[in-house]
Structures are given as structure tokens and as C-alpha cells.
Chains A and B, each alone.
Chain A
Amino acid sequence: MTPTLSVRNLRVEIPTRHGALTAIDDLSFDIAPGEVLGVVGESGAGKSITGSAIIGLLDPPGRVAGGEILLGSQRIDNLSPAAMRGIRGNRIGMIFQDPLTSLNPLYRIGDQLTETILTHERLSPKAAADKAERLLIEVGIPAAGARLSSYPHQFSGGMRQRVVIALALAADPELIIADEPTTALDVSVQAQIIALLKRLCRDRGTSVMLITHDMGVIAETADRVCVLYAGRLAEIGAVRNVVKHPQHPYTRGLMAAIPSLIGDPDEKLEQIPGSMPRLGAIPDGCAFNPRCTFRFDRCPAERPGIYETSASRASCFLLDPTGKPPPAETAARAVAAGIEVRAVPAGASL
């Protein structure tokens, strides 16, 4: 089956006075129809830039410098601005982080909805208004008909995010890119919004790219998860596998850093030493190598590829069946940490 979205070797550059910074480097992933793909990573890992690149709204001077983005079977990264406008909102919907600022304060909710619907569909104003009301009912806004003539400031944050979701779904897109849709919301409202988004997309068969740094949201919502580090793919795989059996040392560190209700409350949480490099100072070889506890001589020297394991696909030399293997001691520690080490050191038996 053709994936809804297919990103192939995407490269996003931001030209600066000191040369181009590579914000996204050789990133590939697919989203199947009806699938929810979670995209996680630290701030600055390139999650939002990936979303903006897909919908064609990179902030200048950022630009797609290589690779391709396919929506269904159509390539969309090289479309004209006018053709891309026909895709945005129509075939790809987007939800932003802050519902308080996503809506134009000077227009009624109903006007913003019908405007979006009429931009993409040939409907009479009456039919568009009816559809707007149906959408508000679908996203769970009480007294939807009356609220059409309300202004954004008359809604609470959670209600506004519901309106934003209605706007993103207005033209029945194939894909929704939700960029941290719950970060700005109350914890109690977060769960409602996530449940709503999940239900609506399942009912409509809409694919979702869910950008967040909240592993809890990912674990609850996503089918697969894609972990980014410094603009590169660290690991991608089914949520259960990535959460339970992370194969990339970075993913492992992320999962180990999540506090758990089960277990000894006095036990110290693991943390990854150091911080993610700035775009201008990404180290040679594997971007994660200076912080990695399993580093060996190959890591700073070469860029790792993406290697298949039984749990997921990850970009780490430990998983590379060919090439120079790590020292026996490192390999043993990695195996003990649950990583499927493929690069077996000579003479070691694991």
C-alpha cells in the first residue's frame, strides 16, 4: 500500500553568514494511511522543522536542500507556491502548539471555519456554514451553532485547541501534522485533546504526524515513533518496541530518564551526560558519540547508516553487522542494556 506520506533523504539547510547549517540531515520515514507517527526529540532536534518542511512553510531563509517528500504518490517538495497552497489545509492539515495564538482574534470562529472550507471546497456559503457547525459538534464544542458567532477570546484554551483541530480537519485532509498540540494546555485538558485527536483521525482514517517531546503522549497515542537527534534519525519503530527495547543508546537514555511509578522511589533517574550539540557544532561521525557511553573508535570517524533490528531500525554502529566491531567490554555492556549488538567482536562469545 502506498504510504500517505513518504519522506526520502530529506535535507533542510538554513543559510547563514558563516555558511549553511544543516537542520535536517538525510531523514527518511513513512506514514501509512491511518497511522499515527510520533516524532520525538529534544528541543532543537528538528521536529518542528520537519513538520514545516513537509507542509512547505519553512521560515525563510530555511529551505529544503535535498531529498523528496511524497504525499501519496505525488511529489510535493518542488511544487509551485500556488499548487502547495492547494495542498495545505486541503490534503495536509496542521495544528500548532499554542491555541491561544493560532486563531485570528478579530474574526468569528464560524467565519474562520467557513473561510477555510470555502477555500478548498466548492460549496454554497450555507452548506459551508452547516459543515462548520458539524465540525464544531464533532470536536465536542457545546452549543456549536451558537458558538459559531463567538470570537476566539471567548473560548478557553482547551476549547480553542478544539476549534484549531476543527480548522485543521475542515477539508478532510489525508494527513494531520500536530506540532506539540498539547504542550500549552493544562495537564487535565491534554488527555482530552489527545483522545479527541486520536478518535477523529481513526474515524476518518487520517494519518497523523504527532510532534511532541512528551513520551507519555507518544506511548498512549502513536503506532510508531521516530526519534530525532540533532536533525538526524536516531531510531524508528513500533512504539511498544522502542519504549520497551530501545536499540539506539540515545533512545535508551531517553527512556531511562522517564520517571516511573513502579520501582524504588529513591532510585536516581538515569540521565544522558552533556547536551545536544548546536547546529553549527555537530560532531563528526555519529552526532551522539560524545555523549554516548558505548562509544568506540568507529563512532567519531564515520557516519552510521540505519540498521534493521528485530525491534526497530536505528542508526548505531553497535547494530551494524559489517565493519569494525566494538571492543568486547563495550559490546558486553550494550548487550546487557538490551541492545541487539550485531557487530560481534572477534573471539567474543555473546
Chain B
Amino acid sequence: MFAFAIRRLIQAAGVMLVVALISFLMFRFVGDPVNQLVGVDTTPEQRAQLREDLGLNDPVYVQFARFVGKAARFDFGISYQIKQPVAQLIASRLPATLELSFVSAIFALLVGLPMGVYTGLYRDTLLSRLFLAISLVGISLPTFLIGILLIFIFSVNLGWLPSFGRGETVSIGGFWTTGLLTRSGLVSLILPAITLGLFQMTLIMRLVRGEMLEVLRTDYIKFARARGLSRRAINFGHALKNTLVPVITITGLQIGSIIAFSIITETVFQWPGMGLLFLQAVQNVDIPIMAAYLLLIAFLFTLINFIVDLLYVAVDPRIRLGGTAG
């Protein structure tokens, strides 16, 4: 188990290095950073001085080593546009995105999983057909349209929920601002969370349904029935547990994409998260922010994948014991 975790960690470090290389290359190929920093009236001497100061004259591998070394200490340099440390900018936006992402992931799981189990068990009931119809909507409508539709219905027409922003936030320990502790914060979270989570919810539902249908046909489920076990023990103990490995995989990957692709939802709802920051950075060719964002998202993905790998082992003993299967 421990060796397994170590092996996975080394793999994760390798992935992070490759991503670091890619985001480092952005500095070199997306325009000259000196041009981004200085005005038109800067003399060539000043430019050369700045180039020397930034270490741009060093060999590429030295620059890369310096970049990785700084990134490991969360030092991503100064934003070209906003002239503040990138790490600070991201840290101030991170809580908003993470809260939104995790609430929508939890929404997707808590709603998608039971719906998937239900539609898998009772294939032909009216409710199952209704769930499947809803899931078709969720899977085929683009996120921004869902967001706009929800705003139109619940904010504009019914006036129940706010259409933009995070509401009131509370600061915890000076580095984390949360909207989860205030009423307006919670209310503001509902529409964006549903918008962001709807696609994942339908994905999880369809996945669980497909897996359930598959597993319910297996011999060990038939044998469990022949042993006279209760429906609950069969459906939730024996069947559901066997569907979990693919569900964990997809859910894990989806959490990563929820965070990475919250950009659209954040734009629609003017959510003050990293997505908005990134979008502005792209418009302004603010490479330090883009590079840091890329690294951060890659880091989250590898972290989630690492957790997912450990969860497999917890669920499926055949993975735990690796090659000893007979």
C-alpha cells in the first residue's frame, strides 16, 4: 500500500514537471515578456538591463530550473497587467472557485448517484423515463445556456435567487473567504452550483445506471439472489459497490474539470473566482497568471487522480494485491 502510494507520487511529480515545462514555454513563445512590461519610451539600454534582471539571458535550462524552483514555493512572479504577485491574486480568487466547484460536485454526486441507482433498478417506470429525459437536457444543453435559463427563470421571472456575485463573505483565518456561512452567500451559490454541476450530475447518473445494469446481470448478483439476500443487501451492498470503481474515476476527473472549466459559469454569474481572473489574463496576454493557472489546474488534477488511485485500492481488493491474484 505504502509502496503503491510512493510509486503514484513519483508519477505525479513527473506529470507536474512536464506541465511546468509547457507553462514555462509560454513565456518564451507567447511574445517577448520585456515588451509586455515596458512602455514605448523605454530605451534599449533599459530593456537590456530588464532582460538581465529577469534572467532572460541565462541558458534555457537554468531559466527552467529557476521557474520550477520558484513555482514549488508558489512564487509565480508579478502579473504584467495588475502588477501584483500572481500567487496573491490567485490566493484571493481560489476560495470562490473551490467553494463553487465542491458544492457543485457534491450536488452532482448526491443527486446523480441515487438517480442512477434508481433508473438502473427500475428501468421502465415513468420516473426513470423522466430522469433520463432530464439527463438528456443536462448533457446536451451548453453550460452558459443553462446558466442564462436559470437566471431568466429564478432571478428575472420569479425573483427568488440572485443572478450574480457571491453575496456576503466571511474571512476565515485571514486567507480564506467563504460564502458558505452567510445566508446571502448560500443563496448566491445555488444557481451557479446547479449550472456547473448539472452536466456532471447527468454524467454520473448515466454512468451509474449503465454500470448498475451491467452488474445486475452478473452471476454473483444472481447467486446473491439465490442465497436469499434482501433486496437492499443485493442492490446497495453487492451491486452498487461493484459500480464504484468507474464512478470514482469519472467523478474524480470531473471534479478536476469542474474547477478548470468553471470559467464559463463564473463569467455568466460574474463569480469572482479564478476563471474570471484567467479570462482577463488571456485578454491581456498576462503570461504569469496564465502559467500559474495552468500549473495550478494540473496540480489539482494530479492531486485528485492520486486520491482516486488510493480510493480504488480501498474499494477493490484486486487492485490492492496487484499481481498476487491467482
Q: A interface vs B, CB < 8 Å? A: 55, 57, 85-90, 93-94, 96, 98, 101-107, 115-116, 119-120, 151, 153-156, 164, 167-168, 170-171
Contacts and interface: CB of A to CB of B under 8 A. Distances in A.
Interface string B160-176: 00000000000000000
B318 A96 contact: no
Contact of A55 (B224, B226, B318, B321): B226
A297 B203 CA distance: 64
A106 B228 contact: no
19 contacts: A57-B225, A57-B226, A86-B228, A88-B227, A88-B228, A89-B229, A90-B228, A94-B226, A98-B219, A101-B219, A101-B220, A103-B220, A104-B238, A106-B241, A106-B242, A115-B237, A120-B228, A151-B318, A151-B321
B39 to A, nearest CB: 65
Contacts of A88: 225-228
Interface size of B as a range: 20 to 34
A-B interface, 3 closest residue pairs, ranked by CB to CB distance from nearest? A89-B228, A94-B226, A88-B228
Nearest to B239: A104
B316 A106 contact: yes
Contacts of B72: none
Contacts of B219: 96, 98, 101-102
Contacts of B315: 106
A156 B325 CA distance: 9
A101 B218 contact: yes
A293 B298 CA distance: 76
B232 to A, nearest CB: 11
A98 B218 CA distance: 11
A197 to B, nearest CB: 16
Contacts of B324: 154
Interface of B: 218-220, 222-231, 233, 237-238, 241-242, 315-318, 321, 324-326
Contacts of A119: 227-230, 233
Contact of B316 (A93, A105, A164): A105
Contact of B229 (A96, A106, A116, A164): A116
Residue of A88, A104, A170 with highest tally of chain B CB at under 10 A = A104
B174 to A, nearest CB: 45
B220 A102 contact: yes
B276 to A, nearest CB: 43
A32 B189 CA distance: 69
B230 A89 contact: no
B223 A94 contact: yes
Contact of A105 (B222, B223, B230, B318): B318
Contacts of A153: 317-318, 321, 325-326
Contact of A89 (B227, B231, B316, B318): B227
B55 to A, nearest CB: 54
B325 A154 contact: yes
A171 B224 CA distance: 14
Contacts of A57: 222, 225-226
Contacts of B242: 104-106
Contact of B326 (A55, A154, A168): A154
A107 B230 CA distance: 16
Given A119-B233, A153-B318, A104 B227 contact: no
Given A96-B219, A105-B220, A151 B317 contact: yes
Contacts of B218: 101
A167 B224 CA distance: 10
Contacts of B222: 57, 96
A102 B219 CA distance: 5
A105 B321 CA distance: 13
A244 B241 CA distance: 51
Nearest to B317: A151
Contacts of A104: 220, 224, 238, 242
Q: Which of B226, B233, B242 has the most CB of A within 10 A?
A: B226
A170 B326 CA distance: 25
Given A105-B316, A151-B318, A153-B326, 15 more contacts: A85-B228, A85-B231, A88-B227, A89-B228, A93-B226, A94-B226, A96-B222, A98-B219, A102-B220, A102-B223, A104-B242, A116-B229, A153-B318, A155-B326, A170-B227
Contact of A167 (B225, B227, B231, B326): B227
A106 B227 contact: no
Contacts of B223: 94, 96, 102-103, 164, 167
A171 B229 CA distance: 12
Nearest to A105: B318
Contact of A156 (B228, B230, B237, B326): B326
